[in-house]
Amino acid sequence: MSHETRQHHTPRRQPHRSPAGFARWLTGKLRSRLAAGVTHLTTGSGPTLDYSSPPGDPGLFGPDSMCWKVHADFTSMMTGGISALMLQALHPLALAAVWDHSTFRTDILGRLRRTATFIAGTTFGSRHDALALIERVRRIHLGVSGMAPDGRPYRASEPALLTWVHVAEVSSFMTAHLRYVNPALPVEAQDRYFAETARIAHMLGASDVPRSRAKIDAYLLAMQPELIASERTRELVGILTNAPAPSAAMRPAGALMFNAGVDLLPDWAQTMLGFERHALIRRAVARPGVRLVAPVIRWALVNGVSKRALRRVAATSDADGSC
């Protein structure tokens, strides 16, 4: 390099050259990496939704709804979703439909992602996207039918079966919310949540959907005689246990989430699945572990789905010039 070239060459200033700048850069990189690892578990299957538009669209429920509050926390929803899958699998007809018509045995993460997309889209998506998701799933259900191992026919569109799948799901989400987000949530607020989410179940074709805490509890009690922990059920649980992590660094978190999901199951369901033996040890590890990890995940998901949806709804005031 010539003397003249050296004279006119100005090294590019690094944005993190100062200690404070470096700290901000490192924090941003860490947040991005954590967010990528977390969202890898819930994206990549099913339709891609834009939660940022159209401006002012509140979706089916809006930010003042209970389902926005309950579904906004990734950690509790993840543990609740794992618990819901195991609870749903205790119903022989629900399990037969998944067994015969799903790729869960070879793509369990895909199954989790599609469920996550449906929940997020119907909760936080625009009205158009939410209705399109519901119609898409409703059409898929119409093509799912067959014969269970016990000789009974099943149809995924059967209203009572849809009710079971729905109740197993929302009751698990609420249990997770009470344990890891707001243990003091009043029963009246829980009733609002179950009433709101019943709307989705009805739109999918479910019937006699319980819409309160008391009716959810009564329904689960009444359903117990119909539930079976079969070899197929145990195989599904084994697949969940060994679900692949997006990276080696995420494996401990995956194991923690699985055990927290087991811990969310009702005691009778844990007994049916053979989990009661180590229940006390699992509780002692999973609950404090999730409470330790949850704030980190919330910090990483600073631009998560619920945050983008909130900005979308608030954008109406900017568009019309009001305050």
Q: For residue 23, how many other CB atoms are within 10 A of its CB?
A: 11
pLDDT at residue 243 in the model:
78
pLDDT at residue 17 in the model:
63
pLDDT at residue 322 in the model:
40
Q: What is the reported pTM? A: 0.85
CA within 13 Å, CB half, 15: 5
Residue-range domain boundaries for the chain? 56-308
Q: Please give the Cα distance from 169 to 147 (Å, whole number).
A: 24
pLDDT at residue 4 in the model:
43
Cis peptide before 159 (omega within 30 of 0): no
Q: What is the pLDDT of residues 79-93, one digit of tens each?
A: 999 999 999 999 999
Regions of the chain short of the pLDDT cut 70: 1-46, 245-250, 316-323
Paired tokens of 15: 């944005």
Q: What is the pLDDT of residues 105-128, one digit of tens each?
A: 888 878 888 888 999 999 999 999
Q: Please give the Cα distance from 88 to 164 (Å, whole number).
A: 7
pLDDT at residue 282 in the model:
93
pLDDT at residue 149 in the model:
94
The helix/strand count (H/E) of the chain reads as 15, 2
